[in-house]
């Protein structure tokens, strides 16, 4: 009979709990960092925000696309549902406007998500499939709105998605008024005709709004900073 006492099976459970705790800390920190800095923010910065070592971040997410997938999976699921809803709306123009306004606010609150949505270089094949599906639904809505004679025939779905990226830069993240005003102006420009201009919500943009948009452009590129 062996005198060696087998190690209890439960011994590894605290490690699994710690690993899951660290994973959630990293995701929470990455969401905050990416929202402000974008998805190119360094893993060291995310590690500091999470209160863990950089090695822990790399161990949990060996590739940046792994972190992007885990972080934005639910956001892309919601975007797919919203795009499907826009395509199912009986009035194509109403469905299109609702989706575009929602997409502007989503991107305004999260710079990282806006980057992932715009660039195929970010995320995995799964996110790319979602991006393609979203684009397909919006193309269908655009086509229907053009068939209805409401949307200009020379407008493409990509024009509209680019517009959301640009308008999302207007105003502070927690102040949608300026974006609502800008989006109203833009959508009026996409119409084939109108009896009168759509009343503008909110007040005109201010110098502060302009400075907020231009501030990132004033910062020196990392490669140009003195060492």
Domains, the chain, with CATH or none: 13-62 (1.10.10.60), 64-215 (1.10.357)
What is the structure's pLDDT at 70? 84
Which ranges of the chain have pLDDT less than 50?
1-2, 6-7, 9-12, 14-15, 217, 219-227
What is the structure's pLDDT at 72? 83
**CA 93 to each of CA 23, 44, 147, 148: distance values in angstroms, whole numbers, following the listed order:** 42, 45, 11, 9
Asked if 153 contacts 146 with a C-beta cutoff of 8 angstroms, the reply is: yes
**pTM summary value:** 0.71
pLDDT tens-digit map of 53-62? 889 888 888 8
Tell me if residue 31 falls in helix, strand or coil.
helix
């Amino acid at each position: 009979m062996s005198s060696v006492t087998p190690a209890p099976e439960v011994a590894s459970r605290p490690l699994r709990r710690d690993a899951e705790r660290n994973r959630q800390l990293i995701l929470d920190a990455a969401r905050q960092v990416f929202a402000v800095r974008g998805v190119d923010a360094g893993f060291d910065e995310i590690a500091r925000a999470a209160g863990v070592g950089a090695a822990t971040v790399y161990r949990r997410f060996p590739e940046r696309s792994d972190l992007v997938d885990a972080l934005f999976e639910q956001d892309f699921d919601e975007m797919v549902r919203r795009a499907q809803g826009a395509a199912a709306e009986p009035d194509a123009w109403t469905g299109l406007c609702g989706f575009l306004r929602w997409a502007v606010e989503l991107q305004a609150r999260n710079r990282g998500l806006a980057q992932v949505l715009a660039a195929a270089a970010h995320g995995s094949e799964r996110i790319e499939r979602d991006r393609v599906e979203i684009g397909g639904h919006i193309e269908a809505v655009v086509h229907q709105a053009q068939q209805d004679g409401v949307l200009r025939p020379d407008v493409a779905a990509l024009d509209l998605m680019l517009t959301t990226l640009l308008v999302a830069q207007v105003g502070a993240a927690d102040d949608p008024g300026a974006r609502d005003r800008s989006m109203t102006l833009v959508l009026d420009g996409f119409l084939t005709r109108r009896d009168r201009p759509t009343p503008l919500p909110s007040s005109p943009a201010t110098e502060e709004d302009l400075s907020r948009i231009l501030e990132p452009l004033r910062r020196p590129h990392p490669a140009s900073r003195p060492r």
